[in-house]
Each structure stands twice: as C-alpha cells, then as structure tokens.
Amino acid sequence: MIALTTIWLLAHAWYPDACCHDQDCHPVPCEEIHYVDGLYTYRGIYWMKERVQASPDGACHACFHGKTGWGQCLFVGGIS
C-alpha cells in the first residue's frame, strides 16, 4: 500500500503550489470538460480561460476545493 501511495504522489508532484499545493487537484475525464460561453466547466465548477493550461502528462486534471464554484487551475491534454 505504501508503494502505491508513493507512486501516486510522485505522479502528481507537478501540480503548481498556486493551484492547490498538491491537495485539491484530481485527474478527471477529459470528455467531461466543456467550453461554454468563454468558461471551461466540469461538474458545476468553472474556470476562466486564463486558468487553463496544457497538461504535462497529456491527461486532464482539475484543481478545486469543494463541490461547486470556481476552480483554481485546469490542466487539459492536447492544448498548447
């Protein structure tokens, strides 16, 4: 179990401190992220375009605290 936890922590060590301090970022399905009216959305969380970055691992990751509101950072695979 310790080895799995260590692997997970290392895999997500690239999350910037300004986004979540490695606490509020989660891998999310890319197909559930939508761009509507100038905002990115994922399950009731919103990000302004300035908060969206290319994902270093090519997958999608959402940084937010709580269930609704505004997200800190959003990492999307396939954007530059």
| More confident: 31 or 22 | 31
Distances (CA, A) of 23 to 14, 30, 35, 36: 12, 20, 25, 27
- Looking at residue 49, what is its pLDDT? 92
48 pairs with which residues across the strands?
39
Q: What is the count of structural domains for the chain?
A: 1
Q: Which domain holds residue 37?
A: 2-76
Determine the average pLDDT of the residues in 13-23. Answer: 76
Q: How far apart are CA 51 and CA 59, in angstroms?
A: 16
Which of 7, 12, 6, 5 minimizes the C-alpha distance to 73? 12
Q: What percent of the chain has pLDDT over 90?
A: 49
> For 36-68, what is each residue's pLDDT tens digit?
899 999 999 999 999 999 998 899 999 988 777
Determine the average pLDDT of the residues in 14-19. Answer: 82
